[in-house]
Structure 1
Amino acid sequence: MTDRQVKSQRETLIVAAFLILGSLVVLFPFLDALILAGVVSYLLKIGHDNINQYLDNQLVSSIIMISSVFVGVGAVLYIFTNNFFGILSQVNTFTGSLRQGVLNITDFLNLSEQFQRNVESFINSISDRLTAEMVSVFTSIPSLLIDVAIFLVTTLFLYKDRDVIETQLKSLIRDIPSPERDIVQSIVTSIDEIFRGVFLTQVTVALILGAVNAVGFLVIEQITSSIPLISLWSLLIAAAALLPLFAGFMVYGPIGAYYLMTGSPVKGSLILLFGIVIINVASEIFLRPYVGSKQMDEHPLIIFLGFLTGPLVLGIKGLIIGPVLLILTKEFVLNYSTLAYAQSSQNRSDDK
């Protein structure tokens, strides 16, 4: 390949990079749906391969996997729309009982009427905010349906054309001039390994926290009194563990607050203390970095920063982009220096 051809290919590569960045700007509002579609299509591929080992029928395996996606999305939408007003009523009932419990405590402690009014005003503002958020979610259903449609269509095509996409990607990489080809190949290989590692880390941590929550609630139950629906709370904690930081608090926080306001301060305090120390702090500082470092063979600090800062900066999409971007940056820097040195050595050998 002549120098002119190499230069032309590199210029084409630069233009392609700018076009990709421009496309990302256009697609950014729907990036959550697109990333989720990529994750689900990846999982569908794994599930398809496992099911096909037993059925030995590509068509039936594909129908089973695609049907599972549509059934799952339909079930979630049905449950949400069918129970929305019931959830809204329960939120108002809970805030009402919380208000009455706080007022009873302030009366018992003989606090000033001004303090009682301030507390009642604060609780009312929380109730209004929760109601407004719920109504906002309900009114945003048209936008949600657009995201769902993008998710379903993208998932379907990524899953259906996965072999074609993989073949075309390999063909494109082969046409990239060296050393850029080696760097891109290294990044693509790293993305697959990192993606699998991120998914396994999230699932492993979720399962561990679900089990830990069940044990913790059982211990608190033995110390104080019965806690109903421990299995349900543990399942919700496991699901919330897929969203780091504050998602777990949305489960154990209301439970602890309920017991605090209904005459069980010890139980409520233990639930809140257990949730903050174990479910939130210990899991984010120790458990997730440890599991991630073992799954992806990376330093725990990179895992910690990726999973912590990604969701804070980018929202849900940061769960994937955060750790993937930090690990890819490290891989790129290390691989670029190695590959550039190898290319330089090869050029010197060719000159001789």
Structure 2
Amino acid sequence: MGVDIKSYLNPPVLLVIFLLVISLMFIFPVLNMILLGAILAYLVRPVATKIQSKVKFSSVSIILAMIVVLIPLILLVAYVSYEISSVITSLIASNYYFDIDQFISQLPIDVNSVNSSINSSLNEIAKYVLNYTVSFLSKFLNITLDLFILVCSVFYFVRDGDRCIEFIRDFVPDDSKNFFDNTLESIQDVLRSIFYGHFLTSVIIGIFGAIGYSLLGYPYGIFLGVLTGILQLIPIFGPWPIYWALFFIDIYAGNYPRAIIVLLFGFFLSTIDMYIRPALSSHYAEIHPLILLIGFLSGPLVYGVVGFIVGPLILGITYTVLDSYRKEYLFGDE
């Protein structure tokens, strides 16, 4: 029997579709913040539940939980930015200081011509700085709006996430509610798998790296450990760029014993990943490494820095939804 599409496209359905399309056009510019807010809400909610057992008001417990979860992330970004600026400042101070007047006096050129070129260059630089400032202010307003939407999304998803799911579930036909519930459970498994199997693994290896590099006497040992943990998130990298770079630096400096030790330590970091990751994620969904790799690499191209988190999650969730559909409808009767 053929399906009569016209019987489904009645005026109320057409109105709903029209409003959904218009609404999507409005929220699309901030969709990445909403998705990230939903993901962070999944992490904040267990903390809020524990705090709520001791705090009377749910809103207060959610805000406290958001502070507990988000403040470490903000401090991490601030720490990385501070360390990078310190490294750049030290490099400039040690390698690029020279007497500009003496340098110009030794050149066989016309000083007046140089002054004219300098004035022209200064004007161009001033125009560039002005344009950059205006552009930065506009981006700053956008960033402020994104952060505001992110915070609001986390708060309301934690507080009203169950209502949102029930609201969507009411539109699901009765014969598909089982598929909907299984899909939700699969999505939760993906979130647990990626969090425990990848983010928590990166934290553990980053801590090991910070301790090891500090004990070996490297400057910025904690910073190197943070970079090791961040690189561990990207499947194609891992910790090897850090310890190989330190190995070649020590070889160039003639510190051969430490070069051998840091190389062995790096191999240790790469090896324990094969044991920590399966041990943490084996109880949840198994996500193929290629899916995560594509998510990590293509996510930032679509959503910027947020794409490092949203990309693999969306692809992982899409895979589990397809797998759930395959099991429910294609092989459900076998």
**Where does 1:200-349 land on structure 2 (aligned, <5 Å)?**
200-210=196-206, 212-213=208-209, 221=216, 226-227=217-218, 233-246=224-237, 248-249=239-240, 251-268=242-259, 270-272=261-263, 274-275=265-266, 277-279=267-269, 283=273, 286-287=274-275, 290-291=278-279, 293-298=281-286, 302-315=287-300, 316=308, 317-339=310-332, 341=333
| Deviation of 1:48 (Å) | 0.6
Distance (Å, rounded) in 2 between the aligned partners of 1:207 and 1:41? 20
Distance (Å, rounded) in 1 between the aligned partners of 2:225 and 2:193? 24
Does the C-alpha gap of structure 1 residues 4 and 48 become closer, same or farther in structure 2, counting only changes over 3 Å? Answer: same
Q: Deviations over 1:128-152 (max 9, x none)?
A: xxxxxxxx9xx86853663453144
Distance (Å, rounded) in 1 between the aligned partners of 2:85 and 2:21? 43
Distance (Å, rounded) in 2 between the aligned partners of 1:233 and 1:291? 25
Which residue of the partner structure matches residue 127 of structure 2? none
Aligned residue identity for 1:47: V
Higher percent of residues as helix: 1
Whether the 8 Å CA contact 1:9–1:177 is kept in 2: the answer is no
Q: What's the TM-score once normalised by structure 1's chain length?
A: 0.60
Distance (Å, rounded) in 1 between the aligned partners of 2:49 and 2:201? 25
Query: Equivalent of 2:181, from 174, 185, 190?
Result: 185
C-alpha RMSD over aligned residues: 4.6
Aligned residue identity for 1:322: L
Distance (Å, rounded) in 1 between the aligned partners of 2:288 and 2:23? 29
| Deviation of 1:70 (Å) | 7.0
| Deviation of 1:311 (Å) | 0.8
Does the C-alpha gap of structure 1 residues 229 and 259 become closer, same or farther in structure 2, counting only changes over 3 Å? Answer: same
1:23 corresponds to 2:24 = yes
Which residue of the partner structure matches residue 43 of structure 1? 43
Distance (Å, rounded) in 1 between the aligned partners of 2:181 and 2:18? 16
Whether the 8 Å CA contact 2:291–2:316 is kept in 1: the answer is yes
Distance (Å, rounded) in 2 between the aligned partners of 1:233 and 1:81? 13
| Deviation of 1:294 (Å) | 0.7
SS at match of 2:173: coil
| Deviation of 1:280 (Å) | 5.0
Which residue of the partner structure matches residue 164 of structure 1? 160
| Deviation of 1:170 (Å) | 1.6
Distance (Å, rounded) in 2 between the aligned partners of 1:189 and 1:278? 35
Does the C-alpha gap of structure 1 residues 257 and 52 become closer, same or farther in structure 2, counting only changes over 3 Å? Answer: farther
Q: Deviations over 1:71-126 (max 9, x none)?
A: 55765676577666534324557988xxxxxxxxxxxxxxxxxxxxxxxxxxxxxx
Distance (Å, rounded) in 1 between the aligned partners of 2:211 and 2:241? 19
Which residue of the partner structure matches residue 347 of structure 1? none
Does the C-alpha gap of structure 1 residues 150 and 229 become closer, same or farther in structure 2, counting only changes over 3 Å? Answer: closer
Aligned residue identity for 2:291: G
SS at match of 2:237: coil
Which residue of the partner structure matches residue 153 of structure 1? 149
Whether the 8 Å CA contact 1:252–1:271 is kept in 2: the answer is yes
Aligned residue identity for 2:297: L
Q: Count matched residues.
A: 285
Q: Deviations over 1:247-295 (max 9, x none)?
A: 63554354334323322245335535653x4545873xx3476246513
**Where does 1:68-83 land on structure 2 (aligned, <5 Å)?**
68=68, 75=75
Which residue of the partner structure matches residue 143 of structure 1? 139
Distance (Å, rounded) in 1 between the aligned partners of 2:188 and 2:34? 17
Does the C-alpha gap of structure 1 residues 332 and 265 become closer, same or farther in structure 2, counting only changes over 3 Å? Answer: farther
Whether the 8 Å CA contact 1:253–1:272 is kept in 2: the answer is yes
Aligned residue identity for 2:284: M
Whether the 8 Å CA contact 1:207–1:238 is kept in 2: the answer is yes
Aligned-pair identity in percent equals 15
Does the C-alpha gap of structure 1 residues 66 and 168 become closer, same or farther in structure 2, counting only changes over 3 Å? Answer: closer
